[in-house]
Amino acid sequence: MPLTRFDYRMKIVVASKNPVKVNAILKSFSACFDDALEVVPVTVSSGVSDQPMDEDETLQGAINRAAEARNEIQGADFYAGIEGGVALHNDRLFAFAWIVIANHEFESHARTATFELPPQIRELIFSGMELGDADDLVFNQQNSKQQNGAVGLLTSDRLTREILYHQAAMLAIIPFLNRELYVERKQLSK
């Protein structure tokens, strides 16, 4: 059920042309705002490794993507940056993503759920492969990162990358739905 109403076409710039990321952002904004939406995908650099290997680098990639999208296309209502990453914990490798939603006032961060990657994929990543390429090799797929992703492959599409991102994007929208509770947050990443 939509929570907020604007009387104009809301413009959201997504810092990716990956349809999984674009659709997750579109669905999240559609669920939260009763507006006509214009989603503009744009290719920008994350400013981090192609395969972020820890929490901080992954979050920084999402922050950088949202900031670069804001630099690329000014005057939009919102900017969304999504960065997937992995992190090692007790010799197990976990996958997740950070999502940053920003407007002209502040930015909000949210993180997806985390899931463990199989040892075979972990070894391929440690040998220098990106997660999407490792998934494609192990599961004999092509371009799975623009489709169901690792989580979809591992759950037989019971949970897909888009669904995972959609939930986190909804969480990142919370401060914009409750602006009065977050007014002191005036930070914007450069």
- Kindly report, residue by residue over 23-62, the tens digit of the pLDDT: 999 999 999 997 789 999 999 999 999 999 999 999 999 9
Interatomic CA distance for residues 17 and 183, integer angstroms: 31
Interatomic CA distance for residues 98 and 53, integer angstroms: 13
Which CATH number is 10-181's, of 3.90.950.10, 1.10.760.10, 3.10.105.10, 3.20.20.70? 3.90.950.10
Residue in the structure block whose two tokens are 């997806």? 112
- Kindly report, residue by residue over 87-140, the tens digit of the pLDDT: 999 999 999 999 999 998 889 999 999 999 999 999 999 999 999 999 999 999
What's the predicted TM-score (pTM) here?
Answer: 0.89
- What is the separation, in whole angstroms, between the first and last Cα of the chain? 34
| Amino acid making up residue 110 | A
Interatomic CA distance for residues 145 and 142, integer angstroms: 9
Q: Where are the domains of the chain?
A: 10-181
